[in-house]
């Protein structure tokens, strides 16, 4: 019983803590895609200088929130 309460408490705490994110901008007009790769469709275009939220990056692609759109951008075109 105590273990179940501890796990439940940890889950609630984990849901309420803020996510670690970074602010970034695009270096030019950059496609925001539905997935990490050029085979995924473009769902929005990011404008240079307009900040967006960077959730994490791999070697080539970053997961972003641009306005209300969540998607992926090429890491080569992002400035922190």
pLDDT band at 61 (very low <50, low <70, confident <90, very high): very high
CATH of the domain at 36: 2.30.30.40
Q: What is the pTM of this model?
A: 0.73
In a domain, 54, yes or no: yes
Other Cβ atoms closer than 10 A to 31: 18
In terms of residue numbers, what domain contains 75? 19-79
Is 57 among the domain residues?
yes
Please check whether residue 73 lies inside any domain of the structure: yes
In a domain, 75, yes or no: yes
Residue 12 lies in a domain: no
Examine the pLDDT at 22 and tell me if it is beyond 90.
Answer: no
- Average pLDDT estimate for 37-57: 96
Q: Is residue 67 part of a domain?
A: yes
- Does residue 14 fall inside a structural domain? no
Where is pLDDT greater, at 5 or 66?
Answer: 66
Alpha-carbon gap, residue 50 to 21, rounded angstroms = 16
Is residue 1 scored above 90 in pLDDT? Answer: no
Q: What is the DSSP string of 24-56?
A: EEESSSEEEESSSSTTSPEEEEEPBT--EEEEE
Say how far apart CA 33 and CA 20 lie, in whole Å. 22
């Amino acid at each position: 019983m105590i273990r179940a309460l501890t796990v439940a408490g940890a889950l609630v705490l984990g849901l309420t803590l803020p996510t670690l994110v970074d602010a970034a901008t695009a270096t030019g007009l950059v496609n925001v895609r539905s997935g990490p790769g050029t085979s995924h469709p473009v769902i929005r275009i990011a404008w240079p200088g307009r900040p967006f939220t960077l959730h994490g990056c791999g070697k080539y692609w970053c997961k972003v929130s641009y306005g209300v759109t969540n998607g992926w951008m090429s890491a080569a075109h992002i400035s922190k």
